[in-house]
Each structure stands twice: as structure tokens, then as C-alpha cells.
Homo-oligomer: A and B are copies of this chain.
């Protein structure tokens, strides 16, 4: 297959027709060898991580289809750790859309003056620009519109979809006595320009807590798909 782009945790290959193929790697983001879904660098490599992330992503993308949420998902090949997806156009060089149910991570680091660590948040949505060099800066709706990355109507739709998707994930976790603290999603436009969820939904882009605290991505997949 023809490599189009080598990412931090996934490589992108040319697919047939209007598709591309994502190869899930065993690399995960983190800092100094410690996993951190919000980090910008590859922190460590975990055997089986790629397949595990793909199993979770397949599970959740199929759930999204059941709920009528548009995603780029076409099919998965777990053995090869590849996922065939519809081609998407990005908003600029990519946005990350975060939905928060607890004040942890960068939210707490920024707003600790006005919140307790871990306090509940009501599906708080925020957007950051994918920009390693500038440390993924947060940006407001007005900022996104002013820079021409999306329209005000698209932002509202993005926010509504983010809350719906995150709510579905939260509910699935709750069925296994797990709590979703926050989750990071990516969106693109399909060939007709309609919004769809892209990238992945796995332990690598969410924080899940159980009765013994934070649940690592591999463990999360075992608990979710048991």
C-alpha cells in the first residue's frame, strides 16, 4: 500500500476508491514514558496497543452507527491492525474537540483557580488546534470562525455531535461500572461536505476511571470488550 502520512500513533495508506487505510501502531502518546492522552509526543510503545485500539474503535464506531452518528468507518481488519475509512477533509490541519465530565488534565491546570481537581463538569466542550509547534492552543468558536476554519453553524453542529458521541461513550462505560472523565474527538467533512467523526475512539483518547482509579487503555479494552 502507498503510505500517505506517518502519524504519531497511526499511519495512513491509500485505499481503494474513496477510502484510505489507517494502520494502528503500538505507539502511544505520553511524556517521559508515561501515557498521557493529552500529550503531543510518542511517550512509549506497548505491544498489542494497535490491535487493542482498533478493537475498541470498531466497537464504538459500530455503536455510533446504531445511534445514527456519521463516522468515517467502513471496515476493520483486526489481525493486520488496519481500518478502512472514508476520505475526509480536515478543518485546516486538524482540530481536537474535547468533552469534559471532570475537571482534570489541562482544564484543571488552566482553571484550578476556580475549580477543585476532579469536580464534575456538564459535558464541557472545547476545541484545540492540532499544532505541535504551538502546543495545541485552545481556540474559541469566534476564533475558529474568524480564522476561517469553520462556520458558526458548523461549530454548533460540531459541539452538538461531540456531546452526543461523548454521551454514548460515557453510557457504554457506565454499563461496566467505569466513569468517563474526558474524551478527545476529531471531525472531518465527507465528500459532500457533511460533518463526520474521524480518527479513533479508544483508551488512547479518553480518560476512564474505575473503582481503583485510572484505567490504562489496554485494561480498558479488556473491561469493555470482555
Chain A interfacial residues counted at CB < 8 A: 29
Contact assessment for A149 and B110 in the assembled complex, using a CB-CB cutoff below 8 Å? no
Contact assessment for A143 and B124 in the assembled complex, using a CB-CB cutoff below 8 Å? yes
Of A13-21, A69-77, A112-120, A172-180, the segment with at least 4 beta carbons within 8 Å of chain B is A112-120
Q: Inside 8 A of A149's CB, which chain B residues have their CB? A: 114
Residues of A within 8 A of B (CB): 92-93, 109-115, 121-122, 124-126, 129, 131, 133-134, 137-143, 146-149
Contact assessment for B113 and A134 in the assembled complex, using a CB-CB cutoff below 8 Å? yes
Contact assessment for B134 and A122 in the assembled complex, using a CB-CB cutoff below 8 Å? no
Q: Which of B124, B142, B148 sits near A146, CB closer than 8 Å?
A: B124
* Bound-complex Cα distance A139 to B115 (A): 13
* Bound-complex Cα distance A131 to B137 (A): 18
Contact assessment for A111 and B147 in the assembled complex, using a CB-CB cutoff below 8 Å? yes
* Bound-complex Cα distance A140 to B122 (A): 15
* Bound-complex Cα distance A195 to B137 (A): 30
* Bound-complex Cα distance A93 to B147 (A): 30
Q: Which of B113, B125, B147, B148 sits near A142, CB closer than 8 Å?
A: B125
Q: Inside 8 A of A146's CB, which chain B residues have their CB? A: 121-122, 124
Closest to A93 in B: B113
Q: Inside 8 A of A140's CB, which chain B residues have their CB? A: 126, 138, 140-141
